[in-house]
Structure 1
Amino acid sequence: RPITNTEILILNSQMHPTPAGEVGELYIGGISLARGYHNRPDLTAASFVRHPFSSDVNARLYKTGDLGRYLPNGQIAFIGRRDHQIKVRGFRVEPDEITTVLDRHPAIQSSVVVGRGDNGGERQQLVAYIVAAPGQELTASSLRRHLAKSLPEYMIPTLFVRIDSIPVTMNGKVDRAALPPPDSSNIVREQAALASESAVAKDLTTILAHLLKLDNVGCEENFFLLGGHSLLGMQLISKIQETFDVELSLLTLFERPTIRGLGSEIERLMLEGRKGLADVP
């Protein structure tokens, strides 16, 4: 709650008050509000805005950049910083909301969620960095199930990365720039990545591991949940045609995003091709 002689408003992008429970930006007003930044008229103009609900034309609100929402008891819950917001598949996502849910998992000691350019760099994907509680093992599927109980599908991270500790700056804030890039040594995978069996599946494993920059890919692991995307998918389809002399559509990859699923479809097409050649007089 605001202190004496201080006013706190939670407003949306149109400077309208947000309903209880809806996230908005925190604005501070009142007689104790500063006049602006010393010798920084540009920052003052950007951060000290006219009070939209005051009859005093000189009244100002300070635009904090912090996000929050009203709780049912009237208190304000801090959600995170506006400058940490990212856009994922057309949705605005506040990573700290995901972190809050992740930290409720009994096997997680702490976490941080950030947006990273995917392997092709054409769009943002959510990456969760996890510090596991001592002696705890995690799998990507168990983390997704935990998050899905509280969050919509578009807020479920694409990748989970296990780290020993979350890096912080000298000011004690999370140092997002120091977080390591996801790779085969730190990505949280499924508990048992089943090995591929057939010759086609083994060749597919090699192709996928190269494209995804992983040491190995289990036959039931989902291409898209390992960091794959449509651009890499097109490269995969091209490599499959070059290797097996069969044509797959991108739709097939979406419908069968595992080595087992793709392998069975490739084997079916190869068999049909051989039958077609045998029928030629």
Structure 2
Amino acid sequence: MTTSAEPTTVTATTPPPAAAPGLLARLADAVALHPGRPAVHAVDGGLDFAGLDRRTAALARALRARGVRRGDRVGVHLGRTRDLPVALLAVWRAGAAYVPLDPAYPAERIAFMAADARLAAVVSADAAPPVPAGVAVVRPDADAPEPDSGGATGGFDPDPLDSAYVIYTSGSTGRPKGVEVPNGAVADLAAALELSGAYRPEPGIVAWNASVSFDASVQQWIRICRGDTLVVIDDATRAEPARLAHLLAEHGVTDLDLTPSHWQLLREPLAGARVPRLFMGGEPVPARTWRELADAGIDALNLYGPTECTVDAITTPVTGPGPHLGEPLPGVRVHLLDARLTPVTAVGAVGELYLAGPGLAHGYPGHPGLTAGRFVADPFAPEPGARMYRTGDQARRSAEGLLEYVGRADRQVKLRGFRVEPGEVEHALGSLPGVGAAAVAVHEAAPGDHRLAGYVTGAVRPADLLAELRRTLPAHLVPSTVTVLDALPLTPNGKVDHRALPAPAAQAAAPGAAAGSDARGGVEEQVAEVWRTVLGVPGVEPTDSFLGLGGHSLAALRVVHLLRRKLNVELQLRDLLDAADLAGFTSAVRRAAAAGPSAVRPALTARREAVR
């Protein structure tokens, strides 16, 4: 790590990349050099690079035929299938920017994002996706048949300043906000990750694990454009650690992106197996996890970077005694500043991280004031007119000169890889009928298990509020619990005192649930014991729901994993999340037990062949 003439500007030891080739140009090279190499494996089939080229070209032509032009935005409303990478690349070939619309999101939120982004079209497997009237719907199979033979048509060659994508993140104003990233920033990221050694020179087999709504997924499109093979992990396999571990081994996966929380679920299934290189991001790596990885000699990288700085800005191998952020990627400049934009130089002194360089996003479309407040003039830049991004992340320098993450300067948090603005959740909660006032806080139910907790005043039932929130918010924004209070605690200046909010654990169990009912069958008691262990609640009754007790997707994975070991049953994540209560889930467990144990096999196994 070196510093420039301005001693607090941290830059990379590796020189910044020269003019980086665009990703579509790199994809064209990969197609020309290795047309028969597998490009995509997915639950519904595979593609080699020649087939990928033909399918993306056909879909790009269909988009252009429906009026999509340079600078437009196109929604991508597809599940984790072969068509998802095809659609994202086709949008680029049509000259547009893609906007991911996760089908798992509530229809109301998808409709808001589609309207806010002013989509010209949407690629969807559904004939009538939840988008505004007038938005053209293009279905990959029905509207973009692949040519029988012959080469693909040439694609649009985007300008570096043209937008590549708009990804929506949680917004403190109560609505999600889009972050618009240019093509040049994505090309620079690809070159910087190669120069830094994060990407190996030889082609790899890369598992796509991140949600398409999470900017870590951008790395996967980089990898396929440079000639790597992409294994799209379907939802069922992604939700089951044992199945995912089997898939990684079956396909010889060399690289896997995941959050530290997800790694904790994979540790045991991967014990004794070859572990791919881990690209860890989305949330800070806990000290214990860092030491475990380092002591085991596992090849892992810690990646730091907000969506506004094109995925990754700082990286380091997970080695040594404890967590730190590492070194900026080539071309990235890092400033540690105080509230007056004065450099913070003292060892151990806390400042705010500002990032600068070619990876900055354009900003927040439709929100010029918000853009101006976060993307500010860079007084330390060697060139005039440069900007830097105010991350809101606090850091300090260690005695060894390493940057260490401290926390947030505001209330924003990262939960299971997703950015969460508590203000957005508070706005949604406070808008519900009967709620007088609302507050949201984060509590740690167990070491490393952070959850959202809601607090309200009014004559309301928490179960009703949670049900309504699940109808309008993505799962990662729905609180695990809602507690009704007589009044919210206030600071002396009249603001909500979030630190004085009570722990929600006392309200988690149903009334009268102490250590669980003795009048239940043996299977139900064993299931209840696992629930109590995972959720940290004192008791569980047959009518209690998993989500109502504070459960979430990662907690559900732990329950399924523990019951698989405890009862030797093959359960699916949906068995738990779809069950109305403990009694209903126990019935599913009994049915699974009656069916007998089955081999844990990923759905991709049967469809590994490449489609040419």
Q: Does the alignment reach a TM-score above 0.5?
A: yes
SS in 2 for 1:186: helix
Contact 1:126 1:156 in 2 (8 A): yes
Shift of 1:147: 2.3
Q: Which residue of 567, 571, 582 corresponds with 1:259?
A: 582
Q: Does 1:146 align with 2:492?
A: no
Shift of 1:63: 6.3
1:178 is aligned to 500
Contact 1:111 1:128 in 2 (8 A): yes
CA distance 1:21–1:123, shift in 2 (3 Å): farther
Size of the aligned set, in residue pairs, is 213
CA distance 1:170–1:139, shift in 2 (3 Å): closer
Q: Distance in 2 between matches of 1:123 and 1:216?
A: 19
Q: Which residue of 447, 450, 455 corresponds with 1:129?
A: 455
Shift of 1:272: 8.0
CA distance 1:137–1:230, shift in 2 (3 Å): closer
Shift of 1:126: 1.6
Deviation string 1:9-52 (CA, Å, 9 cap, x unpaired) is x9955374421159946629xxxxxxxxxxxxxxxxxx985499
Greater CA drift, 108-117 or 207-216: 207-216
1:92 is aligned to 419
Q: Which residue of 563, 569, 573 corresponds with 1:248?
A: 569
Given residue 116 of structure 1, which amino acid in structure 2 is its aligned partner?
Answer: H
1:160 is aligned to 482
Q: Distance in 1 between matches of 2:388 and 2:479?
A: 35
SS in 2 for 1:27: helix
SS in 2 for 1:116: strand
Contact 2:439 2:456 in 1 (8 A): yes
1:120 is aligned to 446
Q: Distance in 2 between matches of 1:92 and 1:23?
A: 21
Q: Distance in 1 between matches of 2:368 and 2:478?
A: 20
1:219 is aligned to 542
Q: Does 1:101 align with 2:428?
A: yes
Q: Does 1:18 align with 2:340?
A: no
Given residue 98 of structure 1, which amino acid in structure 2 is its aligned partner?
Answer: V
Shift of 1:109: 0.8
Q: Distance in 2 between matches of 1:84 and 1:21?
A: 20
Given residue 125 of structure 1, which amino acid in structure 2 is its aligned partner?
Answer: R
Given residue 130 of structure 1, which amino acid in structure 2 is its aligned partner?
Answer: V
SS in 1 for 2:436: strand
5+ residue gaps, structure 1, are: 1-9, 29-46, 66-80, 274-281
Given residue 569 of structure 2, which amino acid in structure 1 is its aligned partner?
Answer: L
Contact 1:167 1:175 in 2 (8 A): yes
Shift of 1:220: 4.1
Shift of 1:94: 0.9
Q: Distance in 2 between matches of 1:188 and 1:25?
A: 43
SS in 1 for 2:424: helix
Given residue 145 of structure 1, which amino acid in structure 2 is its aligned partner?
Answer: A
Q: Distance in 2 between matches of 1:223 and 1:122?
A: 19
5+ residue gaps, structure 2, are: 1-178, 181-307, 310-359, 393-407, 512-516, 597-612
Given residue 186 of structure 1, which amino acid in structure 2 is its aligned partner?
Answer: Q
Deviation string 1:163-185 (CA, Å, 9 cap, x unpaired) is 222222233333222221112x4
Given residue 460 of structure 2, which amino acid in structure 1 is its aligned partner?
Answer: E
Shift of 1:205: 7.1
CA distance 1:23–1:103, shift in 2 (3 Å): farther
Q: Distance in 2 between matches of 1:188 and 1:172?
A: 32
Q: Distance in 2 between matches of 1:266 and 1:149?
A: 27
Shift of 1:261: 3.4
Q: Distance in 2 between matches of 1:199 and 1:103?
A: 41
SS in 2 for 1:165: coil
CA distance 1:15–1:97, shift in 2 (3 Å): same
Shift of 1:116: 2.4
Given residue 172 of structure 1, which amino acid in structure 2 is its aligned partner?
Answer: G
Q: Distance in 1 between matches of 2:588 and 2:461?
A: 32
Given residue 366 of structure 2, which amino acid in structure 1 is its aligned partner?
Answer: A
SS in 1 for 2:414: strand
Q: Distance in 1 between matches of 2:441 and 2:369?
A: 19
CA distance 1:163–1:148, shift in 2 (3 Å): same
CA distance 1:19–1:267, shift in 2 (3 Å): closer
CA distance 1:210–1:146, shift in 2 (3 Å): closer
Shift of 1:201: 6.0
SS in 1 for 2:448: coil
Shift of 1:97: 1.0
Given residue 181 of structure 1, which amino acid in structure 2 is its aligned partner?
Answer: A
Q: Distance in 1 between matches of 2:368 and 2:484?
A: 31
Matched-pair identity in %? 26
Shift of 1:138: 0.8
TM (norm. structure 1) is 0.56
Contact 1:27 1:64 in 2 (8 A): no
